[in-house]
Amino acid sequence: MTVPAAAPVPTLKPGSAAKALRDVLVITRRNLTRTIRIPEVIVLALVQPVVFVLLFAYIFAGSFSLPGAEGASAYREYMMPGFFAQTIAFATASNSSVSMANDVHSGMTDRFRSLPMARGALLTGRTLADMVQNSVVMVVMVLCALMVGWRIHHGVLRAAAAFALLLLMGYALSWVGVVIGLTVRAPEAAASSNFLWLFPLTFLSNAFVAPSTLPTVLRWAAEWNPLSATVQAVRELFGNPGVVDGGPWPTQHPVLVSLTWSIVIAVTARALAGRRYRAAGA
């Protein structure tokens, strides 16, 4: 009696899209597992934005006034989309830059580069892991926002589109963080360099104050700020105060401007990160 030969196990070609996807998922899982094993990072990432929300909602809300919307409750609904965007921006860019700088400093990027894996898997896996972490942070932020009086007024579908815009913006900024992590020489430098661009990006915007209250030059910068477009689009989709008729072109078309900014930033930063990664291995 002859035993039939076992069917050959299909293998993935070295350059196949399926193998590249598998490599990306492996790196994504590796980054998430490393984060889970450091619970202090998770706790700080969740607690810090909640503390800021409570401070602004119950201490500073009465000191701010909005054109056409008065009272602390109106400002709480106005500020929450700004806090969503700010939290995503800070958490994503900082985590990407510091984690990537750690991998470079410890020699992990050289080890991954020597393995038979997709060339861009290490970078893409880093940004996808950040997107997963952002989703968890967003859930906590929404629960905190509901506690301070924030509400969704335009239905579930439009709210889902708003959260998608926030995550897309975070994904784009994570590529900026990857570029910084591949450029600096130490993780400490990556952490410090984020403040140089994240603070102007978040505070020189419509996240917490109406741009109409700013001087002319600062108002123009805030109106064309990528974060302002996302915040304005999210407010429009949620139905929160801050949606205005007229004004500059970005204010009238915030969803389109937000999508455009996120795609341009992601594509540009991805190209720069890939070039930097290849140059480091040359």
268 vs 11, higher pLDDT: 268
- Mean pLDDT in residue range 20-40: 89
DSSP result, 156-192: HHHHHHHHHHHHHHHHHHHHHHHHHHHHSSSHHHHHH
Euclidean distance between CA atoms 62 and 200, whole angstroms: 24
**CB atoms < 10 A from the CB of 151, how many?**
13
pLDDT band at 70 (very low <50, low <70, confident <90, very high): low
**CB atoms < 10 A from the CB of 196, how many?**
9
Q: Please tell me the predicted confidence (pLDDT) of residue 247.
A: 72
pLDDT at 206 over 60: yes
**Which tokens is 87 given?**
């939290």
* Mean of all residue pLDDT scores within the chain: 84
- Mean pLDDT in residue range 268-277: 94
Q: Please tell me the predicted confidence (pLDDT) of residue 189.
A: 87
The closest alpha carbon to 238, from 116, 153, 142, 126, belongs to 153
Report the length, in residues, of the chain.
Answer: 282
Q: Please tell me the predicted confidence (pLDDT) of residue 192.
A: 83
237 vs 192, higher pLDDT: 237
Highest mean pLDDT among 45-59, 66-80, 159-173, 240-254: 159-173
pLDDT at 37 over 60: yes
Q: Are 147 and 107 in contact, with CB atoms under 8 Å apart?
A: no
Q: Are 89 and 227 in contact, with CB atoms under 8 Å apart?
A: yes
Q: Please tell me the predicted confidence (pLDDT) of residue 64.
A: 63
Euclidean distance between CA atoms 44 and 39, whole angstroms: 9
What's the burial of 133, exposed, middle or buried (CB within 10 Å: 0-12/13-18/19+)?
A: buried
Helical packing angle, 17-36 and 39-55, nearest 10° = 70
List, for residues 4-21, the tens digit of each pLDDT value: 444 443 444 545 788 889
List, for residues 175-191, the tens digit of each pLDDT value: 999 999 999 888 888 88
Contacts of 81 (CB under 8 A, 6+ apart): 162, 207, 231, 234, 235, 238, 240, 242
Contacts of 60 (CB under 8 A, 6+ apart): none
Q: Which of 34-38, 133-137, 157-161, 233-237 has the lowest mean pLDDT?
A: 34-38
Q: Where are the domains of the chain?
A: 19-28+38-281
Q: Are 228 and 247 in contact, with CB atoms under 8 Å apart?
A: no
Contacts of 256 (CB under 8 A, 6+ apart): none
69 backbone dihedrals φ, ψ, rounded to 5° = -145, 110
